[in-house]
Structure 1
Amino acid sequence: MFSCLLGPWPCSPEMPPQPVPLMGVRVPAGFPSPAEDWAEERVDFNQRFIRHPEATFFFTVDGDSMQGPDPARSIAHGALLVVDRALEARHGDVVVAVLDGDFTVKRLFMRNGHLALVPENPAYPSLVLQEGQSLEVWGVVIGCYQAFRQDVRPRRRQ
């Protein structure tokens, strides 16, 4: 399945803060360690991660072209992308682009006058911009949320 995007949904700067506890300990991914039972601070997602609220939007990934062998670079079907339109895209950024009128999410390749949109999934070809095609880099993906349980996936916008 080729990745397409559902959205964009704007990040609302008028949203009331929704602070959640940020624990004062890091969770070891190796050997277990004793947990502390208190939070060090409360964190609001918007204040912590959104630098340009008026230019930040959310998309839902629909497809598997960004699921690759490297888990650190992989973006799963159903992931919620946080996209900042105020940032200038650079080589290697994951971007939301509009190619010939269709939204897609890919890694941006810009070297020596060559421009391509590169998937993480090796089953898909890179999209090399050809003469006559239109490409707009719509925004830079600054993060994503991926649920591990089906029952806590982000709710669809009403």
Structure 2
Amino acid sequence: MTSTYPLTAFEIKPVVITTETYHIPIALERVSAGFPSPAAEYMDGSIDLNKHLIKNKKSTFIVRVNSMSMRDAGISIDDELVVDRSVTAECGDIVIALINNEFTVKTLIIETLESDQQKVWLRAENPEFKSIYPRDNEDIEVWGVVTAVIKNVYKRRRKRS
């Protein structure tokens, strides 16, 4: 098992919404991930990515990931996470958390103990990485809930801005 503690998301950027709107066409047909099917040659409306990805623009930011600790949740290095601070985190949500002055992306786990106290910890979604169990003198501060993952699958990647 390899791990660095904590496993951080390395770049936080505010979301900037311009007055320009780009509507991207939506195909009527869904795309098969198995055997190909004949595709219809027309589009059905369009989608505004600002409205699609951002529910509360004043509380939304983007984080770029630099760890494979969330691999099994479909999150990889250089993925950009859309994070909303206005969403109340619940058990099982993928969150951006602050622990020991370091940011990390993990699955939030909240367990109720026999004493009716709650145990809060952060689960890594890759068995090669350790989950984070805060010590008695440590607090986990949830900064926001991940609401979307932006993944660049195009092989000729553009240079980072």
Same fold (TM over 0.5): yes
- Residue 46 of structure 1 corresponds to 50
Deviation string, structure 1 residues 61-115 (Cα, Å, up to 9, x no partner): 00111112xxxx2211111100001100000000000111000000000011111
Which residue of 125, 128, 133 maps to 1:128?
133
Greater alpha carbon shift after TM alignment, 2-11 vs 97-106: 2-11
Residues 13, 54 of structure 1: 8 Å contact kept: no
Residue 58 of structure 2: SS of its match in structure 1?
Answer: helix
**CA RMSD, Structure 1 to Structure 2 (Å):** 1.6
Which residue of 61, 65, 74 maps to 1:61?
65
Which residue of 142, 150, 153 maps to 1:148?
153
Q: Tell me whether 1:17 sits opposite 2:21 in the alignment.
A: yes
- Residue 117 of structure 1 corresponds to 122
Give aligned pairs, total: 152
Greater alpha carbon shift after TM alignment, 21-30 vs 81-90: 21-30
User: What amino acid is the match of 1:42?
Assistant: S
Structure 2 runs not aligned, ≥5 long: 113-117
- Residue 89 of structure 1 corresponds to 89
Residues 83, 144 of structure 2: 8 Å contact kept: yes
- Residue 139 of structure 1 corresponds to 144
- Residue 34 of structure 1 corresponds to 38
Structure with bigger gyration radius: 2
Residues 11, 65 of structure 2: 8 Å contact kept: no
Return the alpha-carbon distance in structure 2 between the equivalents of residues 144 and 15 of structure 1.
Answer: 23
* Aligned sequence identity (%): 32
Could you list the structure 1 runs, at least 4 aligned residues long, displaced by more than 6 angstroms after superposition: none
Return the alpha-carbon distance in structure 2 between the equivalents of residues 14 and 74 of structure 1.
Answer: 29
Cα deviation, residue 15, structure 1: 4.5
Residues 91, 110 of structure 2: 8 Å contact kept: yes
Residues 12, 54 of structure 1: 8 Å contact kept: no
User: What amino acid is the match of 1:6?
Assistant: F
Structure 1 runs not aligned, ≥5 long: none
Greater alpha carbon shift after TM alignment, 6-15 vs 73-82: 6-15
What TM-score comes out, normalization by structure 1 length? 0.88
